[in-house]
Amino acid sequence: MNTGGAIALVTGANRGLGRAFARGLLARGAHTVYAAARDPRTVTGPGLTPLALDITDPASVAAAAERCPDTTLVVNNAGILRGGSLLTADSLDGARDELETNLFGTLAMCRAFAPVLGKNGGGALVNVLSVLSWHTLPQIGSYGVSKAAAWSMTNAVREDLRAQGTLTVAVHAAFIDTDMAAHVDQTRISPADVVDQVLDAVEADREEVLADDVTRQARAMLSRGANHDQ
């Protein structure tokens, strides 16, 4: 699909990668960009249409689908990172929060907007995932679990949506230069670079984006076994 003229909805659009998606879509000529956040007052930038949305609240998701019936492109960017070891964290509350947002919240958006996209000709659905869909860091093990589950969910949703002509794009990246990775002493890719790669993929009908070298290497290692030195 052509992102120029698209009616796009971006979740978590008030900061970081979501803000970059919203602005990048406008720069490419999107007709409308619904910039969604729990508090729409935190959405900044000319040309954006702020939208109140909490992807973990079914009523909020349903209201967004009703308010934005012309949507042709959904970018499921909203996510959280609680951190902590699966075995030694004080409780499983953080893991449950991550699954509720990163898996079930994203799935709720897919379910609510699938008929919207189908009615509008198919369009595209973009799910922002992570290199941790395939690799693991024990200190944030539950986050990796949530992203691995979201990857599997994305693959299943893709098969469901083929019949209606909806492109489903899985986006994987390692460290993006946002607040979430601010403490990481590693090379970080810019949000604008990720956005350009994703929107190029949408326009080329490609189903997967591997945004950096770390991610491409991790993807290539899948068939060789996880976390083993080669």
Residues 6+ apart with CB under 8 A from 142: 82, 83, 84, 86, 89, 92, 94, 95, 98, 99
Residues forming the active site: 143
* Residue 12, SS3 per DSSP: coil
Are the C-beta atoms of 76 and 17 separated by less than 8 Å? no
CA distance 178 to 195: 13
Q: How far apart are CA 2 and CA 67, in angstroms?
A: 23
Q: Which residues contact 103 (CB under 8 A, 6 or more apart)?
A: 146, 149, 150, 153
Please give the Cα distance from 202 to 3 (Å, whole number): 8
